[in-house]
Every structure is written in structure tokens, then in C-alpha cells.
Amino acid sequence: MKSLKTLSFFVAATMLIVGCSKQTSETTGWNYNDSKWGGFEVSQNTEQMTGYGLVFIEGGSFQMGRVSDDTRYQWNNTQHTVTVTSFYMDETEVRNVDYREYIYWLNRAYGSEYPEYVRNAYPDTNAWREKLSYVEPMVEYYFQSPIYNDYPVVGVSWEQASAYCIWRSNRVNERIAIDAGILPLDFTDLRGESAFQTDVYFAGLYRGETKREMDNFAGLYRGETKREMDNLDPAAGGEPRRVAKTDGIFLPNYRLPTEAEWEYAALGLVGTMIDGRIVEHRVYPWNGQSVRSAEKDYYGQFLANFKRSRGDNMGIAGDLNDGWAYTAPVRWYFPNDYGLYNMAGNVSEWCMDVYRKQTQPLGGEDVNPFRGNVYKTYTIVDEEILINDTSGGIVYRNVDDDLNRRNYRQADNINYLDGDYASSIYNPNDNTSITKWTSDYSEDEEVEEEATDYLSNPDSVTNMMYRRHSGNRSTITSMLNNKVRVVKGGSWNDRIYWMQPGTRRYYDQDRSTSWIGFRCAMDRLGSQR
């Protein structure tokens, strides 16, 4: 797999190829990349580069869910076979120094005009505090001190982690554009509205300072440019053009991994395979069924950072088990067979998925299972794409509902096959009230009222999945809603049970804690090898 160390050469070569290489269409016989033949441009870039900090994870089929006894009797991770397509994942958890870089750039871009935008991104250092524990050194120094640079950032909510992924995507693609000579290396006057954002750039709305106006972009392009792509369109009059998706230069967005991706990567089954057969049962991200190393040179050493028992976080003086009362540096332990560090222990990690007790509901997909799809599109006002005045980013809205579609009928699919009457326990003694929620709601006026509410606003009755009315509509038997996200992997504060990749928990997406961190993932386009 290629790496971004060769990216500058690759991008430069691609630009030359786009501008010079002449191919012939197999369907029309007309030349590609030839201004004399109309100027239709076809990039020769057919291989995706590996983004900064990422490791390639070759996809495949695996048994998702519990691989050992369900000692907690939660019944929320029953095994089932799914396929995960190839993707990329961060080698380590996102570190404190990485997140401080994020805060620095936010402050550069928005600190003077929108300081609250920056404050909202800061991790909650008070997440370390406990009522009966002295942890003030962690509160004061963990995020800020260089001593903890290589330790995983904590106190970051799911929402904050997702925002970090977007920022990182933009900075990586901006670096690619600079290396390719598309944008200048000049950040003397960085403001929020002029900060590079990939989707804004593709939409032709990048609003940085300009050295020249690009008339062939209908006055929309406002980016300061060192040079653009050669434009082979004869009507352009030789004026360069901005980079398009068809050039294949920019990378897909960094994002949080799905639960299936995270579990697949953590297991690292590639190290147990011979000719398509799994030859060794694996409970943890490493070989064997023990949390201690069986290798001669490291025999008996712990392979993850976790809590052995109540009150024992690091062992007895003179023979510390793992040496860490709280978190450890991100590369302290051995990586798994994919080269990923700390896929068990150290910190638990956010996943994209909205949590539901069943990982494979009726109608669930075999390939890349995921709950949380909300399909978005541009917000158009007066035939112009709406831009957020604070962030300078595009304002998105849910796509319009379309009952004539077969693959999906509404934009928000978080509650699909969950939260409706067919999956609720509204009235376990009345089967007629839970058979069909789209029609024939029963004669119960309360049932019909809530069913009607669901059709207009699914979020309004999401909690009825685990609600028993019994004459009291407010009686709730679950904390689940559309804003709880899956958390995977054990942490420094967890027992051995949570080290298993198949175990799963949930946490509110707008809350943070000292034992949850995160790492980013990225889609693999094209070839799966």
C-alpha cells in the first residue's frame, strides 16, 4: 500500500498526466485530455493514497459479536456473520498533542470573532474528577502538559470527536493542495470564512483571499491560488480551473469508525488465517485467550492497560503489572496483527453507530452494517448554497422524503425497524396494537395518537421502544434514545471482560468521560486489496 510520503510526487505526476496524456474513448473514438477534441478530461489516478496516521485494513467476512460466555447476561452482542469492506484506521488513539493542534487552528481561524466556537471544542478536563479521589494533577496537567503529549485525549464527546474528524479532513486535503501547488503556503491572515474546507472548495465557494478573479467560474471561486489545474476546455480561453472530484487528488473524509469496522479491526483475524481458515480461536486483539504475553522474551507481561480487580490499577510496588494507574502512551503495548495499538484497554473508543440492544435487527444488512444514517444535502436559498456565518462551512439539511423510492423513503433512518410498533413493548397483552404501525393502529386512542406522531416526527416517540405505559405514559424503562452512541474496547478503568472486541456499551453523544477516547477511520475507494 502506498503512503502519503510519495503523495507530492504522485499529485504532481497526476496533474501532468491530466494535462498531457491523450487517451481515446472506447465508446466514441474521441480523444480524452485533448483540447482539440473538446477537452473532456479523464484522470489516470486509479489508486487511493493512505492518509496521514492511517493503517490499511483489508476487509472481509467475520463473526461479529460475542466470542465467549455472556457473563453479564446482556444479550446485546449475539454472533452473526457480516462483511466489512476495506477501510483505513488510525494506528493509535488520537493523542493530546493532536487535539491541541486542532484547538490551535480553531483559535487561529475563529478565536477573535467566535471564541465560543473554540471553547466548545475543548475537552472537559473536569471529567477526571471523582468525589472521593484526588485527581487534580490530571485535571490541571493531562491535556496541557508536554509530558502527556503522546497519551490519548479524553474528556471528548462523540460530537466533539466527529467535529475533529471534519477539521482533520480539511487540513489533510489542504496540505495535498499545497504540495500540488494548487494553494499557496501562506497563513499570515487566517480567518474562519477563508479557512480551507473540502466540500466548500468542491462547491466553488471557497472564500479565501484572491490574487486574481477566475471569470470562468462565474465569479464563485474566491480562493487565493498559486496555480490551478490546466483547463483543456476550449471555451475556457486557457484559464486554469479548480480541482474537481474527478481528478482524484483529494482524500475522502476522516470519520469515526462504525462498530463493525472497529470490532473487525480490533480482532485482527488476518493473523490467524491460513488459506481462508481461522486456525486459532481469538478472544482479544492478540493471540490466545490470556491478557499476558506467552512469548519467551516477554513472558507474563500484560498486553493491555486495564484494572485487574477492585483497587488494583497497576500492581504492587517493585512489580507493577502495567505501570499505569490511568492512561498509558499510545504505543506502549504491542500492536495487533493490523498494526493497530491499544485496541483493548487504555481508553474505550467512540463509534459512529447509534446504540441499540440488537446489533443485527430484522432486515439488517450483511455488508457494512450500521445504524445512524441521516442523508443530507445542500441547503439552497435563492438558488445559492447557504454558508454558515460562523464556521464558513456549508449548511446541510435532510434530503426530501420520497415514498416512491425502494431503498429508502426518508432521510432519517436512525429508527428504522426500531421504535415502531412492531419492535416496541407498548402493550404486551394486546397483539393487535403492535402488528402494524403504519395502518390499523387499533382502537386504542393513545396508541393511534403516538403512531400518528411517529409518522410526522420519529424522534418524538423513540423512547417508546422500551416504555411500558400501564396507565402512566411517562414510565420509562430504558435510557436509550437517538443520541446514545456505541462505545467499544475496554479502558484503564475497566475489568478484563471489556477487553473483548465483541463487548459493547453506550454513552450519550454530548457527554464525555475520562475513560473514552477515539480514533479516526477513512473509506477505502475502489480496490479492496
Would you tell me how many other CB atoms lie within 10 Å of the CB of residue 129? 14
Q: Is the pLDDT of residue 254 over 60?
A: yes
What is the distance between the alpha carbons of residues 25 and 47, in angstroms, rounded to a whole number?
21
- pLDDT for residue 69: 65
Question: Of the given ranges (43-47, 244-248, 256-260, 365-369), which has the lowest mean pLDDT?
Answer: 43-47
pLDDT range class, residue 85, cuts 50, 70, 90 = very high
Q: Is the pLDDT of residue 223 over 70?
A: no
What is the distance between the alpha carbons of residues 40 and 30, in angstroms, rounded to a whole number?
9
- pLDDT for residue 205: 82
**Which of 43-47, 110-114, 405-409, 426-430 is most confident?**
110-114
More confident residue, 503 or 446: 503
What's the whole-number mean pLDDT along residues 426-430? 42
More confident residue, 519 or 66: 519
Q: Identify the H or E element spanning 487.
A: strand 484-488
- pLDDT for residue 360: 64
Q: Is the pLDDT of residue 92 over 80?
A: yes
- pLDDT for residue 346: 94
What's the whole-number mean pLDDT along residues 11-39? 70
Q: Is the pLDDT of residue 446 over 80?
A: no
More confident residue, 283 or 117: 117
Q: What is the pLDDT of residues 146-160, one digit of tens each?
A: 999 999 999 999 999
Q: Is the pLDDT of residue 44 over 80?
A: no
- Percentage, residues of the chain above pLDDT 90: 33
Q: Is the pLDDT of residue 408 over 50?
A: yes
- pLDDT for residue 522: 96
Angle between helices 96-110 and 158-179 (to 10 degrees): 80
Residue closest to 255 by CA, chosen among 498, 51, 45: 51
Q: What is the pLDDT of residues 23-34, one digit of tens each?
A: 888 899 898 888
- Percentage, residues of the chain above pLDDT 70: 74
CATH 3.40.250.10 assigned to domain 48-180+249-367+488-529? The reply is: no
What is the distance between the alpha carbons of residues 157 and 160, in angstroms, rounded to a whole number?
5
More confident residue, 51 or 70: 51
Nine cell digits for residue 441? 393502529
Q: Is the pLDDT of residue 462 over 70?
A: no
- Three-class SS of residue 274? strand
What is the distance between the alpha carbons of residues 448 and 399, in angstroms, rounded to a whole number?
27
User: Which sign, positive or negative, has the C-alpha torsion 433, 434, 437, 439?
Assistant: negative
**Which of 18-27, 257-266, 412-421, 445-454 is most confident?**
257-266
What's the whole-number mean pLDDT along residues 2-11? 48
- pLDDT for residue 183: 82
- pLDDT for residue 324: 86
Q: Are 105 and 121 in contact (CB under 8 A)?
A: no
More confident residue, 185 or 359: 185
The model's pTM: 0.82
Q: What is the pLDDT of residues 161-198, one digit of tens each?
A: 999 999 999 999 999 888 887 888 877 778 777 788 99
Q: Is the pLDDT of residue 516 over 90?
A: yes
pLDDT range class, residue 448, cuts 50, 70, 90 = very low
More confident residue, 128 or 305: 128
